[in-house]
A = this chain, B = another copy of it.
Amino acid sequence: MGTVTAGHQALLVDLYELTMAAGYFENEVNYPSTFELFVRELPEKRSYLVAAGLEQVVDFLESVQFQSEEIEFLRSHPTFAHVRKEFFDYLKHFRFSGDLWAMPEGTLVFPGEPILRVSAPLIEAQIMETYLLSMINCQTMIATKATRVVAAAGGRGVIEFGSRRAHGPEAGVLAARAAYIGGCVGTSNVYAGFRMGIPIYGTAAHSWTMTFEDEEEAFEKYCRVFPDSALLLIDTYNTVEGARKAARMGQKVKGVRIDSGDLLKTSQQVRTILDDAGLSGVQILASGDLNEYKVRDLVQHGAPIDVFGVGTELSTSHDAPALGGVYKLVEQTVENSFRYRIKLSPQKATYPGKKQVFRFTNARDQFDHDVIARDQESSQGAPLLERVMAEGHRLGPLPALHIARERAALNFSRLQERYAAFENPDTYPVINSQALEELFQKMKHLN
């Protein structure tokens, strides 16, 4: 029993993490090292990101280890033919023993800003790379998309509905979680409710209606089982007819769902039918290939839709389905000697040394600009990276998921309109501190 990847976390890595690990081990260079995870460039149409995924990262760092059969697999793989037995003994006892600094989930983050920072012996920090990137990239991408859809809905509820189009069952759960942080009121994904406490919502599918000879019979039978919560799908045959039949259920029906056709026109027709039947309290939920633009248009045209069910485009961040987070070595201590690390590849240079991000606000308490500074600098701005783990263990419980969600909403409310716009937003100002820039220039000339 278990999902596709159950119980073998430590191998959820790119092979080069493990070849490098073996190489570091054999060359005795397991130096105290610091890596930072950041996004170089925002995807098109994005002007900010909403940090998400930290809880899964911490769970992983606290629990990751190699099973004996995994070690055996590596040892017998031709790649490791010349690696000594001692390395595999090392893997047997491998645990993450490092420190983690991170932006709390729900924090708005901009290009170049470290979302998290790992300090650990080089091998440990290196092996974590793939998992940390996939988790932070994925959840941050979807939390960000969710804030766009939620903003478009202008106060009406948005439910994440996209498990069936997510990139596998686990991705569906991660999408549900990230979308909740981004402001959705809940999800259709039951596991996310069970394990993470996210509010879950469900209506019915066309198969329900089709199972009964008559649509009205289908509605009656559904309402009987769910007298407090029946949301009826009314578009199986003809939406207007479906609405009339739903109206005959009276107070037993809590809401109706429309999943096809012209949602503006149809929702108006359905609203009229419900209101004429004295059912002004019955909600209309609309779904069907929605995204932030369609939701915005429906809201702007006054569509009487109370709740939007948004699936595919939200749960895959369809218009920007990958986030290019990277994880880069920034400093090491080599035999008691401290070294900054820098990379100069074309278009892919990295700044050396541990960093902190300071956020400055204006007189109206809106975000004004950020400064990426060297870790030890002091600043009038609010520091965004917090220490989350020390010596392999979390310093305390992480904030509850609803706190992350509230943080995202509060952060977003403090982002000025011109940076928050859907299309053609201005670039939020992020500058490097003078000390960081000087260090970079100095390092560049040394190489």
Q: Which residues of A contact B (CB under 8 A)?
A: 1-9, 11-20, 22-24, 26-27, 29, 31, 33, 35, 56, 63, 65, 70, 73-74, 77-79, 81-83, 122, 126, 129-131, 133-135, 137-139, 161, 163-175, 188-191, 193-195, 200-208, 210-212, 221-222, 224-229, 235-238, 259-261, 312-313, 316-318, 321-325, 327-329, 332, 341-348, 447
Contact = CB atoms under 8 A, between A and B. Distances in A.
A361 to B, nearest CB: 33
Contact of A206 (B130, B237, B321, B329): B329
A77 B226 CA distance: 12
Nearest to A161: B14
B164 A14 contact: yes
B163 A14 contact: yes
Given A165-B324, A202-B16, A190 B11 contact: yes
Given A7-B6, A188-B16, A328-B207, A200 B1 contact: no
Given A4-B56, A206-B329, A225-B26, A173 B12 contact: yes
Given A189-B14, A348-B260, A447 B3 contact: no
Contacts of A78: 228-229
Contacts of A175: 167
A205 B3 contact: no
Nearest to A313: B322
Contact residues of A: prevailing secondary structure: mixed
A225 B170 contact: no
A7 B1 CA distance: 6
A204 B19 contact: yes
Contacts of A22: 225
Contacts of A342: 210
A164 B134 contact: yes
A189 B77 CA distance: 14
A222 B174 contact: no
A321 B316 contact: yes
Contact of A5 (B3, B129, B318, B332): B3
A8 to B, nearest CB: 6
B12 A169 contact: yes
Given A23-B221, A261-B347, 17 more contacts: A2-B2, A5-B191, A12-B189, A16-B205, A23-B208, A27-B224, A27-B225, A70-B194, A74-B190, A134-B165, A138-B167, A167-B171, A167-B175, A167-B321, A168-B174, A206-B328, A206-B345
